[in-house]
Amino acid sequence: MGLRPIGELVRPGLGELQPYRVPVHPGVIKLDANENTYDFPEQVLRDIFGAVDAQTFVRYPDPDAEDLRAALSDYTGVPAARISVGNGSDELIQNLMLTFAAGGKVVIATPTFGMYAIHAVIAGAEPVVLPRNADFAVDPEAVIAAAARPGVRMVVLCSPNNPTGNTIPPEVTAEILDRTGTVVVLDEAYYEFCGETAVSLLDRNPHLVLLRTFSKAFGLAGLRVGYMLAGREVTEAVGRVKQPFNVNAFSQLAATRLLKWRPVFERCIGEIRRSREELLAGLRRVPGVTAYPSRANFILFHTSLPGPRVYEGLLERRVLVRLVDGPDLPGCLRVSVGRPDENAAFLEALEETIVSRR
């Protein structure tokens, strides 16, 4: 028997999957990934590296991340036994899909973070697209109806939503939970920039899962640390598919030490919030631009020109943003809130681009 083409051996359903690709452009003002663009605080760096010893790198990490989960319990008010730590939120999303959605369907309120659908397909689940309203709000009746369809095992929502920046009011989340029998995942990756959370709903809703990350407000995007808040049954079920030693020792140490310095980061978060409002006002002064209000650390905007033309024009001026132009968001781009000098450079480049490409 001859060798079969690799394409014939790939699991059905993966052949059409488009990988999540991130362009790399050295030497640009990088406002495309919703990172905290401020330098990591020097005193926190010294504390983290001061805690590293000769055994940190030669031993396997704590598979249960007990120190980090204890620190997260103090931060969130959720018992450590109901907190799971992942190699970024992405690992947790995939583990949730593997645990609950494989072989079934996942309702995803779009437009939103593209990895939800990708992880669903990887896990052998079928993504079910549920469009948001024209103002990007989630319609609870539509979510409840979609969740009741045959085969649906999970609903995924995001608040503040990426890339639109709006939140889901807690009463809407509560209504969905009260009338939905599936697992409901609410991604709160940008929680620190809005202060609005559904943590209070956890105790009476065993199907609710909250996702958080250190990659945004806390500036640890390079170390990949996410965490999940859920009921005990969900936590134990997801633990069955978790890879052993999934979060490396240095990342665990850094995230744990960082939480002792929350006031330092809260000041930075306050600066980002203020810059967000200034950036929004600046965008609205640019002719031909419609900018949407945001409660995260990014802003969605639409221009009178095709999105790819604006993206390329900005890149020519050494500013990188995220092109989200597509059927759900025609002509739209998303810009991360940077430092004041970065925001000013972006606004100048955007105005030049629009004027030069009309």
Tens digit of each residue's pLDDT (9 = 90 or more) over 5-54? 888 888 888 888 887 788 789 999 999 999 999 999 999 999 999 999 99
* Per-residue pLDDT, 357: 62
Residue 358 pLDDT level (bands cut at 50, 70, 90) = low
How far apart CA 211 and CA 158 sit, in angstroms, is 9
Please report which helix (H) or strand (E) contains residue 67, including its range: helix 66-76
Sign of CA dihedral 313, 323, 302, 169: negative
- DSSP-derived letter for residue 317 is T
pLDDT tens-place string over residues 225-278 = 999 999 999 999 999 999 999 999 999 999 999 999 999 999 999 999 999 999
Give the pLDDT score at 1.
Answer: 59
Question: Under 8 Å CB-to-CB from 43, ≥6 apart: which residues?
Answer: 261, 264
Query: Where in the sequence of the chain do the CATH 3.40.640.10 domains occur?
Result: 50-261
Long-range contacts of 264-272 (CB under 8 A, 24+ apart): 264/41, 264/43, 264/44, 265/41, 265/192, 265/217, 265/218, 265/219, 268/36, 268/38, 268/41, 268/217, 268/219, 269/192, 269/193, 269/217, 271/38, 272/36, 272/38, 272/193, 272/217, 272/297, 272/337
| Fold (CATH) for 6-40+263-356 | Aspartate Aminotransferase, domain 1 (3.90.1150)
Give me the residues paired with residue 303 across strands: 289
Give yes or no for a contact between 215 and 224, defined as CB atoms under 8 angstroms apart.
Answer: yes
For 312-356, the pLDDT digits (tens) are 999 999 999 999 999 999 999 999 999 999 999 999 999 999 987
Instruction: Report CA-CA distances (Å) from 190 to 22, 101, 163, 193, 250.
Output: 20, 24, 11, 6, 23
Select the CATH number that applies to the domain covering 50-261 from these four: 3.40.640.10, 3.10.129.10, 3.90.1150.10, 1.20.1260.10. Answer: 3.40.640.10
Q: Within the chain, which residue ranges are assigned CATH 3.90.1150.10?
A: 6-40+263-356
Q: What is the pTM of this model?
A: 0.95
